[in-house]
Amino acid sequence: MKDLKFHQIVKNNKELNIFFSDDKQKINVSLLSNISIHQLKPIIEYNFRFNKLNVDVTLKEYDNIIQESSTINKNDIVIVFWEIINIIESFPFEFINFDENRKKLFYEKITGELDLLFNNLEKNKLVFINKFNDTCFYNNIISYSDYYAFIEKLNNYLTENKPDNFVILDNNNVFKDIGVNNSIDLRSYYSSKTLYTISFYKEYVQHLNPYIFSISGKSKKAIIFDCDNTLWKGIVGEDGYSNVALSEKHKNGLYFKEIHLLIKNLISKGVIVGICSKNNFQDVADVFENRKDINIQLDDFTIKKINWHDKAKNLIEISNELNIGTDSIVFVDDSEFEIGLINSIIPEIQTVTVPKKLYEYPSHILKISSLFFNVNSSDEDARRNKMYLEEKKRKKVLETNTNLDDYINQLGIRVEFSNKDEECLERLAQLTQKTNQFNFTTKRYSLNDMKSFYDSNNFDVISISVSDNFGDSGVTGLCILNYESDSCEIDSFLMSCRVLGRHIEYVFLNELFKFLSTKNNCKFLSSSFIKSNKNTQVQTFYESNGFKITYESDEFKKYQIKINEYQAKIKPNIITSWKKK
């Protein structure tokens, strides 16, 4: 999008829109502003439609932020442009003539309106609001230090009092990327209150992407590195392990040291880090075993494909072994040939070429680390790589068992159920945002959404934690039940891919019916299947377990079953329990 003209974005946006049918889940975005931002609407729509997200953007009434915020649907994502320069006409120039009492009154007015905005939008899925900014007219002019202090005081209030669902964006970060003069158009501001340029908006939406991708299940999950000239400078097979540059002790080594430190940080956040390299395994191992100045170890990499096979084949194997989609992978390599090969064979993988100017390499990886951002992080993120290593041990057991029941018995699986468990609230929101395969409706919920389910008497939120003889997989399943009259509807039913293939889904379903049988007024259970690109494996699950189809189309199925007529089809040897409150 960076190189597209505005008219091209508008044209491409209209063309992309036809690929999204009306019955697909749509992200609704509302724009609130006290300046003219009409050009932002098609840019946001194109940005997300290009990334295969169905989005509909509504531009609310100009300069009516508080009133309009009270009318916004709670499911909407909201973006707020509340510019200090247009609080009143010519505010920066009026302010320099204010006495202290007038300054105080304006501070109270603005903070009071912020409180109203917070109250109106605190239940929404996600709200972006820009920090108040002084860059438009004054830029470190000493004589206007009172104005800077006023804005800083407002931003402190914004930071300290915002609800949890508010994300504060700093437009100075956009200014740093493209420059203030490329971001602001004062001529257009004076003529039509259009403060920001097209270039600004194109860069601004990139700062929204990590959040939107996270709540839409589009965040990346794994980053895979080549070795030579990617994890270190040099070719280990030719130069030897002692001569590759990977720390400040060698020329150009500092850049790679910083890459290693970034890798360690990604691992701590639950990102899967791996190696895909054409090399002799022992040559690579020698670097990690013998170089005392290296900041990472070979065991830090969850998965390693170090051989002479083509990298496309290796990356497909990595995808299969990790049980994640190829579109969840980022691949980093210095070779333009290898990058081109991956782009042509597996275009879903996002590729990153090591910059020719090595001093740009650490900042480049730092920037793409936002692709792995999670709005709702949990304690399990830090343990994710350990869990994948435990999963390798399970697969070795599976290889020695031709019978699934024997495999399950050998694992010694334990499933603990809980209802509205406060300790895993953030994790459950995260599960809805990241789970794609065993997910019947692919509804994405924010932390606020989950809190509303917890607070409502019309909902139960059943979660499962899974462990076995090899380790603890943590909170890996969720079912949201919605009660109405004498029936119950499964709003969401999902399980993490890390516990699939062990009949845990049948244990979950069996226990749900036991739970519902205790609800005296509940006689019927209904459910749905909404087809996505990744959930075809569950499209016949309900009917194979006794549910009757009440409606069916190409992309949607509706089911119902009498609760007292359910009969468990599969009863695996798995220990179940309920968490004590």
Give the other-Cβ count within 10 Å of 209's Cβ: 18
Phi, psi of 232, deg, nearest 5: -155, 165
> What is the reported pTM?
0.79
Q: Which position has the token pair 């505010």?
A: 91
* Domain final residue pick, 374, 409, 444: 409
Q: Give 296's contacts (C-beta < 8 A, 6+ positions apart).
A: 260, 263, 264, 288
Return the pLDDT at 222: 95
Q: Do 204 and 226 fall within a single domain?
A: no
In a domain, 66, yes or no: yes
**pLDDT, one tens digit for every residue, the chain (581 residues):** 778 999 999 999 888 887 776 545 788 999 999 999 999 999 999 999 998 888 889 999 999 999 999 999 887 899 999 999 999 999 988 998 999 999 999 999 999 999 999 999 998 989 999 999 987 765 555 456 788 899 999 999 999 999 999 999 999 999 998 999 999 999 999 999 999 999 999 999 999 999 998 888 889 999 999 999 999 999 999 999 999 999 999 889 999 999 999 999 999 888 999 999 999 999 999 999 999 999 999 999 999 999 999 999 999 999 998 888 899 999 999 999 999 999 999 999 999 999 999 999 999 999 999 999 887 766 666 677 777 778 778 878 887 877 888 888 899 999 999 999 999 999 999 999 989 999 999 999 988 899 999 999 999 999 999 999 999 999 999 999 999 989 999 999 999 988 988 999 999 999 999 999 998 889 999 999 999 888 999 999 999 999 999 999 988 999 999 999 999 989 999 999 999 87
Return the pLDDT at 23: 46
State the chain's mean pLDDT as an integer. 92
Return the pLDDT at 22: 56
How many alpha carbons fall within 13 Å on the CB side of residue 200? 19
CATH code: domain of residue 46: 3.40.50.1110
In a domain, 346, yes or no: yes
Percent share of the chain, pLDDT over 70: 97
Q: Which secondary structure element, helix H or strand E, spans residue 110, and what is its range?
A: helix 100-121
Q: Give 447's contacts (C-beta < 8 A, 6+ positions apart).
A: 164, 165, 375, 376, 425, 426, 429
β-bridge mates for residue 514, sequence order: none
Provide the token pair at 2: 């960076």
Q: Do 18 and 118 fall within a single domain?
A: yes
* Domain final residue pick, 358, 382, 409: 409
Helix axis angle for 40-50 and 6-17, nearest 10°, is 50
CATH code: domain of residue 545: 3.40.630.30
Tell me the torsion sign for CA atoms 511, 512, 517, 520: positive
* Domain final residue pick, 197, 215, 233: 215
139 CB burial (10 A radius; 0-12, 13-18, 19+): exposed
Instruction: For residue 509, give the nearest of 487, 555, 477 by alpha carbon.
Output: 477
Cα-based distances in Å from 504 to 129, 242, 477: 42, 49, 9
Domain count, the chain: 3
Q: Do 259 and 387 fall within a single domain?
A: yes
| pLDDT tens-digit readout, 302-324 | 999 999 999 999 999 999 988 88
Q: Do 451 and 558 fall within a single domain?
A: yes
Give the other-Cβ count within 10 Å of 357's Cβ: 9
Fill in the DSSP letter of residue 232. Answer: B
In a domain, 164, yes or no: yes
In a domain, 1, yes or no: no
Domain range spanning residue 249? 222-409
d(CA 71, CA 79): 14
| pLDDT tens-digit readout, 559-574 | 999 999 999 989 999 9
